[in-house]
Amino acid sequence: MTTTTDTSLADLSPIAFSADHFNGVIIDADRLPDEAHFAASLGDALDLWTGAGKRLVWLKVPLERSGLVPIAAAHGFIFHHANDHDVMMTRRLVPEAFVPTHATHYVGVGGVVINDRRELLVVCERHRATNRKYYKLPGGALQPGEHLVDAVLREVQEETGIECRFEALVCFRHWHGYRYGKSDIYFVCRLSPLNQEVTMQVEEIEECLWMPIDEYLSSELVSPFNKRIVRAAERSQGVSPEWIEGHTDPARYEFFMPDETHSDEPLGPTHVA
């Protein structure tokens, strides 16, 4: 909620904005001046906001208004992050103003799927960094807003045709210097298969099969890391989904707890499977 001072400032400002909780300014992306008047309006607004003691300005420029980007850059704005349809820019009004970083990590999941014959579901990716064949767990990256449980079930089904039941989260790996210099967190999940017939995703997967675990663990075509996480999934109880009382939106939260600490609270609706 804006204060009286912010309301008065908004009446004087040549560019529409709202105030954030950190004494900053968020320019209204839907009410940006046209390109011919943007430079003058932005210069006057920056002087006004600086005089009022504001610390930082956020400017989201929609793709269809991209002509405003060089104008903003000439007024000291820098890039913060970009999406498919817009770019976010920032301008410090005081040198020490804190600018939170944008997303720094990718998040991926892999499924350790073991059937009643103690066979492990494995894939060999079609698009890989080397011509040498190697076998790994089915899995992939989370989509925006997707839970770990939903992502690993989806990825395994898409790549192999095997539908599964989620059992537990057993371990994870944190890796720096991944794609575009970002870091990566890879969660390993134990799953139980609900069917056995493989239907391979030919666009991404070159080979998919049920492999005896002992053969997998002794194979030269499997990395030490993949062997280690399969052993962890076999031997560790891991942590399983649980809903925590007091959190009202299961679409926003996901919790994993040791079985011995689980409450009697029902799981959120995204985890009922």
Specify the pairing of strand 119-125 against strand 56-62.
unpaired
d(CA 114, CA 137): 11
The helix or strand, by DSSP H or E, that contains position 230, with its residue range, turns out to be helix 224-235
- 0.75 cut: is pTM over it? yes
Q: What is the pLDDT of residue 132?
A: 86
Query: How do residues 63-111 score in pLDDT, each as one tens digit?
Result: 999 999 999 999 999 999 999 999 999 999 999 999 999 988 999 999 9
Q: Is the pLDDT reported for residue 247 higher than 90?
A: no
Torsion angles phi and psi, residue 114, rounded to 5:
-120, 130
Average pLDDT over residues 31-56: 97
Q: Is the pLDDT reported for residue 273 higher than 90?
A: no
- Sorted by sequence, the CB contacts under 8 Å of residue 118 that are 6+ apart come out as 212, 213
4-92: CATH topology? Aminopeptidase (3.40.630)
Q: What is the pLDDT of residue 180?
A: 86
Delimit the domains of the chain by residue range.
Answer: 4-92, 105-238
Q: Is the pLDDT reported for residue 229 higher than 80?
A: yes
Q: Report helix, strand or coil for 154.
A: helix
Specify the pairing of strand 256-257 against strand 240-241.
antiparallel
Q: What is the pLDDT of residue 13?
A: 95
* Structural tokens at position 248: 């009202």
Buried b (16+ CB within 10 A) or exposed e, 199-214: ebbeeebeebebeebe
* Structural tokens at position 69: 């980007």
Whether the CB-CB separation of 122 and 211 falls below 8 Å is answered with yes
Distances 143 to 109, 180, 193, 254 between C-alpha atoms, Å:
11, 18, 23, 15
How many other C-beta atoms are found inside a 10 Å radius of the C-beta of residue 106? Answer: 16
CATH architecture for the domain at 105-238 = Alpha-Beta Complex (3.90)
DSSP character at residue 117 = T
Mean model confidence pLDDT for the chain: 92
Q: What is the pLDDT of residue 1?
A: 42
d(CA 169, CA 116): 20
Q: What is the pLDDT of residue 261?
A: 66
Average pLDDT over residues 161-187: 95
Specify the pairing of strand 183-193 against strand 105-113.
parallel
Long-range contacts at 29-37 (CB < 8 A, ≥ 24 apart): 29/59, 29/60, 29/61, 29/62, 29/86, 32/61, 32/65, 32/68, 35/65, 35/67, 35/68, 35/71
Whether the CB-CB separation of 106 and 72 falls below 8 Å is answered with no
Q: What is the pLDDT of residue 4?
A: 47
Same fold, 4-92 and 105-238: no
Whether the CB-CB separation of 31 and 21 falls below 8 Å is answered with no
- The pLDDT confidence band at residue 216, using thresholds 50, 70 and 90, is very high
CA Rg, the chain, in Å? 25
- The pLDDT confidence band at residue 265, using thresholds 50, 70 and 90, is low
Q: What angle do CA 84, 187, 117 make, to 5 degrees?
A: 125
- Sorted by sequence, the CB contacts under 8 Å of residue 28 that are 6+ apart come out as 15, 16, 17, 18
Query: How do residues 113-158 score in pLDDT, each as one tens digit?
Result: 999 999 999 999 998 878 888 899 999 999 999 999 999 999 999 9
Torsion angles phi and psi, residue 94, rounded to 5:
-130, 140
Tell me what percent of the residues of the chain surpass a pLDDT of 70.
93
